[in-house]
Structure 1
């Protein structure tokens, strides 16, 4: 019989399998940003987007049935994913380090909250506003660092990264609306089938916008770059989301969500160790403020 971690009587206990899933998701999503940097050595951003979703969809379409949802929800979720990773891959190519991307992308929580208030009629406690303001100060630190230069991030990269966080938030709102309309839909089926939607748009964007001399570079991609694509598609997209979804099914979101704070920590360490990236004092300050805002915000929501 599996050991259980003691907890209060109002919630089911975390089993060892749950702890393993939490640690697995944190490690996978934290390494995600370094993996993207590796893949972008040989793939243009839109090419990488297409390849990621091909590997997320094609191997599993033969085993995972279509979710019991109207097609509109699947298309909306897929287009949100298209925007998220188009902006993120462009940011990582055009002036954003893997270390800072792992932190800045977590601002999706604040964007999700603001969109929830605007579109879903959700409420925001007054103390939650303080967390938003603290995060805004952290983003100002990143902006000043980008303008000053010398920290390997640019203002363009920062804005693209924030756009990616905003699109992730929109994807969260789509999923929430779908859950309200169809409470019994299977989340894993949803993740797999929305992965179909971005493939053709990413291919079209790559063909239309990539310079002619780089359109076929992916054919000569290194084995490590292809391994990175497989990791992004199957491990970071499907496996990690499946584990995270199972955690959310067994435990309240207020208990699961705080563990996501481990992602930027792993992302920072991995980028520094594996890519040799440096983090300036101003970027450390901005990271600390954003993470502190996330801790405050999650605590107040709980």
Structure 2
């Protein structure tokens, strides 16, 4: 598959030593944190424009990562031959992905956003087929189809002809393509560097690429409110730091399509967070949709491998 043998021994640089289930848990942990990102993003828009939010979120993440590396005495450097690749992965996974996602979320509903996120595994599997000639087995294809059906039931999307919403949906599909390529580029790098080092340098590269986009956006900066500031803190620490560390860790043992297939849990968990945080009611059809999604995720993400 896409798995590569470690090019260097980084056991001293990363304390995590787990079996295959642990890597599943790492990726799932990232998905749990990202599941509340749509709610946090909407709340942050109270004072932040989409590109501003992505840039400030990344800036905070870089600062916090710098302190983490200092405290842990992590002085691991990126080899010269990998610098361009890591810079490009930072551009794709940090700058371009979050810029596109933030713009898309600002133009469409949260339920539409959840449905588009559920299509990411299909996008990744399709690109794996064309780029790496990897043929998905019937179980994986069936699982992805079931999961997407479940999300459609869960979100109960209605096409109302809103051109702005439709454009937002298309933009989010573009985010899925960008995320797939981020997975392809990052996959082998996770075996060469510790998760902290890899994510830190990706964030630094992403921040640099965000600067010209902020100038292009040309929006007035506003003083954050308690709500928008809290949302920003969650997005910076929970999503940009902890979730990325866990996700990059999971990529060490899981293929790109399997890692992304776990993101089908986002709409299910997003519904749970909406109930807990926004006190929204839940219908029987939504419960049914959640069960279908979970079944599809399990079916599409089962992978055999050595512990």
TM-score, normalised via structure 1 length: 0.72
1:8 aligns with none
Post-superposition Cα deviations, 1:244-297, rounded to whole Å, max 9, x if no partner, equal 444565xx538x957655443221222354346789999988877666543432
Q: Which moved more, 1:239-248 or 1:54-63?
A: 239-248
Check if 1:28 corresponds to 2:33: yes
Check if 1:193 corresponds to 2:201: yes
2:224 aligns with 221
Pairing 1:41-80 to 2, within 5 Å after superposition: 41-61=46-66, 63=69, 64=74, 65-68=76-79, 70-80=82-92
Check if 1:88 corresponds to 2:96: no
- Between the aligned partners of 2:131 and 2:113, the Cα distance in structure 1 is 27
Residues 265, 293 of structure 2: 8 Å contact kept: no
1:267 aligns with 270
- Between the aligned partners of 2:242 and 2:285, the Cα distance in structure 1 is 35
2:120 aligns with 108
- Between the aligned partners of 2:290 and 2:161, the Cα distance in structure 1 is 17
Point out where structure 1 has 5 or more consecutive residues left out of the alignment: 1-10
- Between the aligned partners of 2:161 and 2:290, the Cα distance in structure 1 is 17
Residues 107, 168 of structure 2: 8 Å contact kept: yes
2:5 aligns with none
Deviation of 1:173 (Å): 0.8
- Between the aligned partners of 1:13 and 1:136, the Cα distance in structure 2 is 25
1:122 aligns with 134
Distance 1:301 1:132, change over 3 A: farther
Point out where structure 2 has 5 or more consecutive residues left out of the alignment: 1-17
Secondary structure of 1:78's partner?
helix
Check if 1:167 corresponds to 2:175: no
Q: Which moved more, 1:164-173 or 1:290-299?
A: 290-299
- Between the aligned partners of 1:154 and 1:285, the Cα distance in structure 2 is 26
- Between the aligned partners of 1:284 and 1:157, the Cα distance in structure 2 is 26
Deviation of 1:119 (Å): 1.8
1:243 aligns with 246
Distance 1:140 1:289, change over 3 A: same
2:165 aligns with 154
- Between the aligned partners of 1:83 and 1:279, the Cα distance in structure 2 is 34
Distance 1:170 1:136, change over 3 A: same
Residues 117, 266 of structure 2: 8 Å contact kept: no
Distance 1:143 1:36, change over 3 A: closer
Q: Aligned to 1:203, which of 211, 221, 243? A: 211
Secondary structure of 1:197's partner?
helix
1:7 aligns with none
- Between the aligned partners of 2:122 and 2:20, the Cα distance in structure 1 is 28
Secondary structure of 2:204's partner?
coil
Aligned residues: 276
- Between the aligned partners of 1:131 and 1:22, the Cα distance in structure 2 is 18
Deviation of 1:174 (Å): 0.8
